Structure 1
Amino acid sequence: MTRRYWNIRLEELVAAGVHLGHGIKKWNPRMAPFLFISPKSKGNHITNLTRTARFLAEACNLVFYAASRGKSFLIIGTKKEAANSVVRAAIKARCHYVNKKWLGGMLTNWSTTETMLRKFRDLRTQQKTGRLGCLPKRDAAILKRQLSHLQKHLGGVQYMTGLPDIVIVVDQQNQIKALRECITLGIPTIGLIDTDCDPDLVDLPIPANDDSVFSIRFILNKLVFAICKGRSSSTSSIRNP
């Protein structure tokens, strides 16, 4: 497989604060290979950005080739620092996303999720056509609350017709349940991994600060760029066989 070059400069990583980790006492020893470690150091761990650039480039290659083959992506990030960036990235790259609370069993109990998605689409249709307004007020209020709940938790996956081919996780500590589901189902995962995370839980870890909006946005922007390039590559090959 031909490897593409992605312009990932160390200066940009530093400017985005990608290297800033958690306090020395709050870390996962399994992250040691990705960090600058000094026994006498105090304060926070510092991520080795050379390794970050390498793994981010590998992730970009992976999503590029997956996108060029029409694969589907799910981006997950629910904490406040990640939520807005996840939505923007997903919309730009035409990916599914979850930026609110993860509903347990969303992937492993896919048949139940499909039922909820059908209910969601049906309620949206009723709302758009004005059918909800024709119901008694009490019944309409109940259905509107259901619609609001489904929109909040399933709005980002409303067009998902099957399990995703690749899952991108922004905040591992908050998404352990989602990761466990991916592991159970054998769905490949890419994870933005901070110094307190377990890199062994994801297939392709990207060591980086997951508490900074700037760091999260930088990593997602690179991945989104690669996905979009992959999608356009696929379109070009169809137009020019």
Structure 2
Amino acid sequence: MAVKAEVKDLLEAGVHFGHLTRKWNPNMAPYIYMERNGIHVINLYKTVAKLDEACEALTKIAASGRKVLFVATKKQAKDIVAEKVSAVNMPYITERWPGGMLTNFVTIRKAVKKMTSIDRMKKDGTFDTLSKKERLQVERLRAKLEKNLGSIAEMTRLPGAIFVVDTMREHIAVKEAQKLNIPVFAMVDTNSDPRPIDYVIPANDDASKSIEIIMKQVTDAIAEGLTERKSEKAEAAEEKATRAEAPASTAVEEVETATAPAEAAPKVKKQAAEATGDDLTKIEGIGPKAAEALVEAGLGTYVALAEADPEKIKDLLTEFSSRLAHLDPGSWPKQAKMAADGEWEALNAWQEEAKGGIE
């Protein structure tokens, strides 16, 4: 379990310092404690609460096997983000946000593949056959692609969430994520608008120490999620090996179970799922907010979601929050059916074939 941040630690790091009062955004009023010497002071008790909430959600996203894209192009943040995020093997953008990074993901992937093809040329000797001028041009192109897109080379599909440092500077990234219903986590200062952000972390986004302590908490939460996923995979592999080595009597029992009345197995399976609940964020297109809406509506399992009507799902989402009204749940029952049947390889293959994870 990751060590949670304390108010004392955040205070020492200067997380509470906001902007000048004349530069404030009124929507940040709930997170402001007081004003002193013309500067707003952030309520660190609310920062701790919001940070814990964000870390819990990030742990679940990491445990589900999805990536979290970090965006921080300001000078104070880029080196800190690159260092912390590299440690948990997550993609990040620290140079400049390439327009259409999310909304035109297919084209961005082509640029990444171009970088890979240049590396292949160097390995198979094709690069040496080029003229000196052509080699120089290719080298420059490779260096440019590496600088802007090198950190997202392993991101083969749309991320499960994005984490932003300074929402005013990275407003294009926030808008693209909103358009695709990708959850947005962000450090939000007193001069920023928290309304477009799904998980607001009120904090000073200008000081290096403040950014570092928040990033440490966030990356620790992601590391915890990755550890959970790794242990789950190990347990699944161990269980599979145990089944393979099971005695013949067990095999006979399994055959008898399989030959039992057809209605019995689905009924037992459905009751078990309803008792435990499923991680709906493994379904492409369902974020934490949408999952919360489905659980509240009684569709918290793969079995229940597989039997639901997409139109009714859309009505439920709209009723839960107007911000979820643009979602298209058309493929959710299909994906849920594969998940309920344990066909994870088929589900992953379907999600990979979809354009950047979207049909």
In the other structure, the counterpart of 1:189 is 184
Q: 1:19-98, aligned counterparts within 5 Å?
A: 19-38=16-35, 41-98=36-93
Q: Are 2:9 and 1:12 aligned?
A: yes
CA contact (8 A) 2:2 2:221 kept: no
CA contact (8 A) 1:24 1:42 kept: no
Cα distance per residue 1:74-97 (max 9 Å; x no partner): 000001101011111221111100
Change (3 A) 1:238 1:15: same
Q: 1:127-138, aligned counterparts within 5 Å?
A: 127=122, 131-138=126-133
For 1:211 and 1:156, locate their aligned partners in 2 and report how far apart those are by CA, in whole Å: 23
For 1:147 and 1:45, locate their aligned partners in 2 and report how far apart those are by CA, in whole Å: 45
Equivalenced residue count is 236
CA contact (8 A) 1:6 1:60 kept: no
How far off its partner does 1:42 sit? 2.9
Length-normalised TM-score, structure 2: 0.63
Cα distance per residue 1:159-218 (max 9 Å; x no partner): 110100110011212111111100111101101001111111211010000001111111
RMSD over equivalenced CA pairs, Å: 1.5
Length-normalised TM-score, structure 1: 0.93
Change (3 A) 1:215 1:140: same
For 2:113 and 2:201, locate their aligned partners in 1 and report how far apart those are by CA, in whole Å: 35
Q: Are 2:194 and 1:210 aligned?
A: no
Q: 1:133-144, aligned counterparts within 5 Å?
A: 133-144=128-139
Cα distance per residue 1:130-176 (max 9 Å; x no partner): 54343101111111111111111101111110100110011212111
Unmatched 5+ stretches in structure 1 = none
Q: Percent identity?
A: 34
Query: 1:15 is aligned with what amino acid?
Result: E
Query: 2:37 is aligned with what amino acid?
Result: K
Unmatched 5+ stretches in structure 2 = 237-359
For 2:86 and 2:2, locate their aligned partners in 1 and report how far apart those are by CA, in whole Å: 24
Which secondary structure does the structure 2 equivalent of 1:174 belong to? coil
CA contact (8 A) 1:73 1:168 kept: yes
Higher RCO (C-alpha under 8 Å, 6+ residues apart): 1
